[in-house]
Amino acid sequence: MQRLWAPWRMEYIVNDKETACIFCRDGNEERDRELLILHRSSLSLVMLNRYPYTNGHLLIAPIRHTADMNSLADAEMLDLFKTLNLCRSILQDVAAPQGFNIGINLGRAAGAGVDEHLHLHIVPRWNGDTNFMSVLADLRVMPENLLTTYDGLLPAFIAARKETE
């Protein structure tokens, strides 16, 4: 029998699960790395997906807690999509993916893991990034640690923030 070692999963298994909304944060930037928050605009935030499909899988959410797209003000909708475009540009520059999956899962039935707070997914894709492990073992092999991905993307988000100031 072969084994696939994933010791970082133990943190998920033994830690208390968050009951608060993962997108509703107090704005305290001191915990951003721990919470995997890469960027905040005035109306949106960007964070790494803690359970990604591929490395660099980002979540983009309005700051305001809502699950209803119709409740978004025009400024919030515009900011979400400008932030999405920023994420796409940064991922392209830093990780050089060959494509992207971009989507919104509205409601639990549609696959939303956090259905009480609207959010967008942007998933960088490379030719051959899915393999037999997903098909045969219902398992994804992530080649890079989340904090390594975070540290690789953060400088580009900081640079982008400085350009808009």
CA-nearest of 99, 8, 9, 100 to 58 is 100
How far is 120 from 100, CA to CA, in rounded Å?
13
pLDDT of residue 159: 94
* Number of residues that this document lists for the chain: 165
CB neighbours of residue 58 within 10 Å? 27
Instruction: Kindly tell me if the per-residue pLDDT of 33 is higher than 90.
Output: yes
pTM for this structure? 0.81
pLDDT score at 10: 67
Catalytic residue numbers read 119
Model confidence at 134: pLDDT above 60: no
Instruction: Flag whether pLDDT at 157 surpasses 90.
Output: yes
The Cα-based distances of 83 to 58, 120, 160, 161 in angstroms read: 11, 10, 11, 11
CA distance 84 to 61: 10
The domain ranges of the chain are 30-126+142-158
User: Token match 């995997």: residue?
Assistant: 36
Query: What's the CATH code, domain 30-126+142-158?
Result: 3.30.428.10
On the question of pLDDT at 73 being above 70, the answer is yes
The pLDDT confidence band at residue 125, using thresholds 50, 70 and 90, is: very high
Does pLDDT of 39 surpass 80?
Answer: yes
Q: Is the pLDDT of residue 48 over 90?
A: yes
Indicate the average pLDDT of the chain. Answer: 85
Cα-to-chain-centroid distance, residue 138? 21
User: From CA 139, how far away is CA 160, in angstroms rounded?
Assistant: 35
Has residue 56 got a pLDDT over 90?
yes
